[in-house]
Structure 1
Amino acid sequence: MAQEGGLALVRKAVEVLDLLAEQGEATAASIAEDLGEPRSSVYRLLSSLQKLQMVESGSGRGAYRLGFHLLSLGTAVVERFDERRFARPVMERLHEQTGETVYLCVRRERQAVCIERLDGRRVQSLALKLGGALPLHAGAASRALLAFDDRAAWTQYLESGPLQRFTPSTPVTGEELLPALEQVRRDGIAVSDQDVTVGVAALGVPILDYLGRVRAALSISGVREAILSDATTALREQLLLAGEEVSRAMGWKAVDGAVADFG
């Protein structure tokens, strides 16, 4: 019973931290209301988290925000990814060449999680922040991760629950999503045309390892006209070459010069 109580307390602490990560700052009263917990319990929990430097006083009266101790923990998590280490210099070059926002994402269950992001100089999309996530059916990086997984995983994903629609262009049914995933496999590149944010488009390519498994996805995002116009063929070429370069650093070898071949 004591173990169950301890787990419940840890779960509540995580819920508080997740809420602060989402909202930026919040008072104990608003946290208690959002989580459906007694205010006294939330106050005690926040006090304990503050002593551990997990949270700190916010800018408003009675407000709290995430503490700096979480920064060191988050940095330790991010730095363990080989994908990030190999991709970072390629991302920096791509960012310098294009001026657009560049992402690196990895899969975690039904989501694509952003583990590196370089903000664009012209527009900074807020749909996928560093450490944030999108479902695998929405966005270019997300669909690149799903498309280059085994096809059986596509069916499992569709059957595991209803898909969230972000805009009228988001593929949320098998009739919409499966052809899109097949297209990604044929082309070696995923195209997101306003299916996460109206007016914003993105391109995504898979990062493969020495076994040919998809390990991550590299993506570039910006205003639709800058990403998908007739004059942006070079942008696709740059991204495809960047994805291949990072994949080679992960030990992948091309088959007949193809960017990816999963048949």
Structure 2
Amino acid sequence: MAHDGGLALVRKSVEVLDLLAARGEATAAQLAEELGEPRSSVYRLLSSLQGLDMVEGGSRRGTFRLGFHLLSLGTAVVERFDERRFAQPVMERLHDETGETVYLCVRRGREAVCIERLDGRRVQSLALKLGGALPLHAGAASRVLLAFQDRSTWSDYLEQGPLEQFTPSTPITADALVPVLEETLDTGISVSDQDVTIGVAALGVPILDYRGQVRAALSISGVREAILGADTAAGLRERLVEAGQEVSRALGWQAVAGAVADFG
């Protein structure tokens, strides 16, 4: 029984931290309403988390936000990804050359999780924050991670429940999603045209390892005209494909049987 109580407390703590991550700042009353818990219980929990530096006082009186101790924990998680270590300098160069937002994502279950993000100078999309996630059917990086799986994975994904629709352009049925995945697989590049955020487009390419298996997705995002416009699209695609291949080579891609693969 004590074990069950301890597990419930840990679960409630995670729920509080998740809500603060989503909201930025919140009062104990707001959190209690979201959780359906007594305000006094939530306040005691916040006080305990504050004592561990996982929560701190917000910018306004009576509010709370995530504490700095979580930064060190998050950094430890992110730094274990070889993909990020090899991709960082390539992403920085791509960001400097284009001025657009650059993402690195890895798959976690039915989601694409952002493990690195360099904000664009012209527009900063809030749809996918560092540490945030999108479902695999929505967005350029997400669909790359799904497209480069076998087709049974596509079927399983579609069968496991209704797909969230972010905009009218989000592919949420098999008839809409499968052709997009096939095109991504054929061309080696994924195109997101306002299917996550109206007015925002993105391109994505796979990061492959020495076995030719997808390990991550590299993506560039910005206002639609800058990403898909006639004057810019070809150059951005070329830069992104070259960047993805560079990171893939660092992970051993193309070293198998002397073959030179080309996913662009």
TM-score (norm 1): 0.97
In structure 2, distance between residues paired with 1:68 and 1:74: 10
Tell me how far 1:257 sits from its aligned partner: 3.9
What is the match of residue 258 of structure 1?
262
Q: How does 1:99-178 map to 2 (within 5 A)?
A: 99-178=99-178
SS for the counterpart of 2:8 is helix
Question: Residues 201 and 227 of structure 2 are in contact (CA less than 8 Å); yes or no, is this contact kept in structure 1?
Answer: yes
Tell me how far 1:234 sits from its aligned partner: 1.2
Which runs of 5 or more structure 2 residues have no equivalent in the other structure? none
In structure 2, distance between residues paired with 1:257 and 1:83: 19
Deviates more, 1:248-257 or 1:200-209: 248-257
Q: How does 1:16-27 map to 2 (within 5 A)?
A: 16-27=16-27
One-letter identity of the residue aligned with 1:80: R
What is the match of residue 186 of structure 1?
186
One-letter identity of the residue aligned with 1:82: D
Q: Structure 1, residues 20-42: CA drift from partner, whole Å, max 9, x if none?
A: 00001111111111000111211
What is the match of residue 58 of structure 1?
58
Q: Structure 1, residues 175-223: CA drift from partner, whole Å, max 9, x if none?
A: 0000000000000000000000111100000101111111100000011
In structure 2, distance between residues paired with 1:138 and 1:144: 10
SS for the counterpart of 1:122 is coil
In structure 1, distance between residues paired with 2:216 and 2:54: 29
TM-score (norm 2): 0.96
One-letter identity of the residue aligned with 1:126: L
In structure 2, distance between residues paired with 1:93 and 1:31: 41
Deviates more, 1:249-258 or 1:176-185: 249-258
In structure 1, distance between residues paired with 2:127 and 2:44: 33
In structure 1, distance between residues paired with 2:126 and 2:30: 24
In structure 2, distance between residues paired with 1:151 and 1:87: 27
What is the match of residue 245 of structure 1?
246
In structure 1, distance between residues paired with 2:35 and 2:247: 42
Q: Structure 1, residues 24-76: CA drift from partner, whole Å, max 9, x if none?
A: 11111111110001112111111110100000111112111100100111111
In structure 1, distance between residues paired with 2:236 and 2:49: 46
In structure 2, distance between residues paired with 1:256 and 1:142: 25
What is the match of residue 90 of structure 2?
90
SS for the counterpart of 2:219 is strand
In structure 2, distance between residues paired with 1:127 and 1:29: 27
SS for the counterpart of 1:251 is coil
In structure 1, distance between residues paired with 2:236 and 2:59: 42
SS for the counterpart of 1:230 is coil
SS for the counterpart of 1:171 is coil
- Alpha carbon RMSD of aligned pairs, Å? 1.0
One-letter identity of the residue aligned with 1:258: D
Question: Residues 254 and 260 of structure 2 are in contact (CA less than 8 Å); yes or no, is this contact kept in structure 1?
Answer: no
Q: How does 1:34-45 map to 2 (within 5 A)?
A: 34-45=34-45
1:235 corresponds to 2:236: yes
In structure 1, distance between residues paired with 2:97 and 2:61: 44
